[in-house]
Amino acid sequence: MIDISVVSLAHRSGLCVVPPAQDGTKRPFIPSGGGWKHYQQQRPTPALLKQWYDPSNGLTGLGLVCGKVSGNLEALDFDTREAWDEFCQMAEHCGIAPLVDRIWAGYGEMSPRGAHLIYRCSEIAGNMKLARQADGKKAIIETRGEGGYIIVAPSNGSVHPSGGEYRCVSGSIATIVEISPIERKDLIELAKTMTRFVRAESTQVESASTGAAGRPGEDFNARASWSDVLEPHGWRKVFQRGDTTYWRRPQKTEGVSATTGYAGSDYLYVFTTSTALESERGYTKFGAYALLNHNADFRAATKALAAQGYGEPIRKAETDQVVFGKAAAAKPATPEVVESASNEFISLADFIATPPASTYLIKRVLPARGLGQVFGSSNVGKSFLLIDMACHIAAGMDWRGYKTKPCTVLYIAAEGLAGLAGRMKAWTQRHGVLPDRLFIRPFPVGLTSEGAAAALAVRIANLPELPRLIILDTLAANFGPGNENDAKDMGIALDGLRALGGQWLVLCAHHSGHADKTRSRGHSSLYAALDVELQVSREDPLGPIEVKHTKCRDMDRMAPVYFNLETESLPWADEDGEPVNSAVLVPAAQPGAVEEGGRESMLPLGGKQAQALQLLKDMYSTHAANTPGGVARVLLRDWYESMSFELHRGNRSRIKAALEARGAVKQVDSYIYVVD
């Protein structure tokens, strides 16, 4: 068991102590019941800690909530001893070993399988995955920062799934050191260079001119060295390990900032945000040369390299097509101009040999790629639907019983910003999930403005993960100069949408036509270009919202689904101290249906659904016994936190949705009730 003296020492040292569960899940556990989120902002009192760690509870674990509540505590969590040993060796090579040693002397800890490097810093961030395994699924190094949680020594027993112990091997919980933001950056950048995961789709966004033999860019890639590209701009080699060379950026005297030659590739991977090169994406030599010497003007870079003797003479029909990441509208080519390429002409047998790697984002609702549109009258609920879909996809949660493909989502909000944060807060509060793969851009694109979409596509490549769904709310607000009813202007806007989406899906919110509410506004070429279209409508202002397909290019149309908008009370107040509320979409019954509210209501009550319902009933019994004469209520987040039989938070929300669809439970504001 954990002695209360250890807990008291951690508390006196300004740390927020929350015990871990005893079931190997490594999640926070509150012995007195309820959730732990409250302790991300406020530390428990000594009296409460003494109650938690009473010997009768048998706790064998000590956990810390990271972030501001613990004095800006942050930790590097190494999943394996091998990762920790490699990090220490590389720290020696790049000159930051004294920093690592100083942190380790303040508090050094070995976890059952890896190690923890724990420190305080005036600038920290949320949890980040810094280095992943080759398949990209599991992190080998990650941070535990603001809102994060880490288990520390002397935890043992059933706290870790292996049954192993956490050992403090140097310093003490009371002597955790503080480092500077620059020192923290050195640690983060070094850890990022250790990733085994290479995102293939992020390695080429620079230019079509590098793709054929004999062109200047391709010739430069083959003949130039990385020293030729980087050293004239102040980059310096630090050391080489196997085929990988580690580089340090200009104006930096310690640490590493980039690698070349990793995993047998000839790409440059940059792990710092302090240079013109984008972080965590791959560059060819030509791509890096163009950015460093010609401000990413690939046409100018191609001409300059040709003047230096690289490649064959460039023919005009080729140079006319060089743009960011795509081929521009080209003049009709003649047989003398077109050069053959191995992947230009594909036999039918090869073309149909294998199915597409990914076909959907929401199965039978949204495809994985192309252009899509959600349209409807003003204030019918289009944005609520898009928020609901975006959050479900980013969190990997089923949407109305349909499977989703978890991925990063970018939500470009060009109107309705005053209420957007409240709507998204309402969704996270109602579902008890905070999707960490959803990003918001609160600025319009300007699709018809020259180069705007292409320039944004380049910046999107700098996100931690490339988004596979980009939402524009609304098309009109993101349109830019021009008339959406004009064929030429709409054609330019469609080109901008394709430039943004690349090979993934772009989904726009749009308004219904002024006269015909069954179609969207704008030139007919918009509808012709769509791969999927959903109509949002509401016949009765007090009735449910209907969502149905009006176009599906490569899949069957789903049956219409129905929603209601329910008010959600937020933990916010306006400048006058009055409460701020928003709303959230909830499944609704089809008009005329007796009981069934959706596909989920037709499913039998599963084992975990039955457990969750019984758990809620038991919680009400406990609350009623503790509040004689009062009204027993259970917070949704407390119910979720008590579902120890379901470790995945997204599945807890799905269990709730299934029970709601069956009429077994009902949510009102932040509380969940059993329906008699």
Ranking 48-52, 355-359, 408-412, 545-549 by mean pLDDT, the lowest is: 355-359
- pLDDT tens digits, one per residue of 227-238: 999 999 999 999
Is beta strand 665-668 parallel, antiparallel or unpaired with respect to 671-674?
Answer: antiparallel
- pLDDT tens digits, one per residue of 594-614: 444 344 444 445 567 788 888
pLDDT at residue 229, as a whole number = 93
Is beta strand 366-367 parallel, antiparallel or unpaired with respect to 360-362?
Answer: antiparallel
Nearest to 47 by CA among 18, 8, 21, 19: 8
pLDDT above 70: residue 278: yes
pLDDT above 70: residue 109: yes
Q: Which two tokens stand for residue 399?
A: 């949407």
Rounded mean pLDDT, 570-598: 75
Q: What percent of the chain has pLDDT over 90?
A: 44
Nearest to 116 by CA among 92, 149, 90: 149
Distance CA 431, CA 59 (A): 30
The Cβ of residue 552 has, within 10 Å, a number of other Cβ atoms equal to: 19
Q: Which two tokens stand for residue 30?
A: 């509150």
- pLDDT tens digits, one per residue of 152-211: 999 999 999 999 999 999 999 999 999 999 999 999 989 988 888 765 433 333 443 444
- pLDDT tens digits, one per residue of 199-222: 543 333 344 344 444 578 888 888
**Phi, psi for 226 (deg, rounded to 5):** -65, -25
Is beta strand 579-587 parallel, antiparallel or unpaired with respect to 561-573?
Answer: antiparallel
Mean pLDDT of the chain: 84
Distance CA 411, CA 431 (A): 19
pLDDT at residue 650, as a whole number = 64
pLDDT above 50: residue 382: yes
Instruction: Give the C-alpha distances (Å, rounded to integers) separating 250 from 233, 241, 266, 293.
Output: 7, 21, 21, 15
Let me know if 454 is exposed, middle or buried by CB neighbors in 10 A (0-12, 13-18, 19+).
middle
pLDDT above 70: residue 119: yes
pLDDT above 70: residue 66: yes
Most distant pair of Cα atoms in the chain: their distance:
91
**One-letter amino acid for residue 342 of the chain:** S
Distance CA 432, CA 397 (A): 12
pLDDT above 60: residue 344: yes
586, 566 Cβ separation under 8 angstroms: yes
Q: How many angstroms from the chain centroid is the CA of residue 94?
A: 31
Distance CA 395, CA 469 (A): 13
Q: Which two tokens stand for residue 263?
A: 């995993």
**One-letter amino acid for residue 366 of the chain:** L
Distance CA 629, CA 333 (A): 84
Rounded mean pLDDT, 31-38: 84
pLDDT at residue 629, as a whole number = 63
pLDDT above 70: residue 59: yes
pLDDT at residue 274, as a whole number = 76
- pLDDT tens digits, one per residue of 1-11: 899 999 999 99
pLDDT above 80: residue 664: yes
Ranking 56-70, 363-377, 606-620 by mean pLDDT, the lowest is: 606-620
pLDDT at residue 206, as a whole number = 43
Residues in the chain: 676
Rounded mean pLDDT, 474-499: 91
At 431, the pLDDT band (50, 70, 90 cuts) reads confident
pLDDT at residue 606, as a whole number = 53
pLDDT above 50: residue 342: no
The Cβ of residue 566 has, within 10 Å, a number of other Cβ atoms equal to: 15
Ranking 308-317, 358-367, 530-539 by mean pLDDT, the lowest is: 308-317
Distance CA 227, CA 236 (A): 8
Q: Which two tokens stand for residue 537?
A: 């409508």
At 334, the pLDDT band (50, 70, 90 cuts) reads very low
pLDDT at residue 204, as a whole number = 39
Q: Which residue has the tokens 């996809």?
A: 393
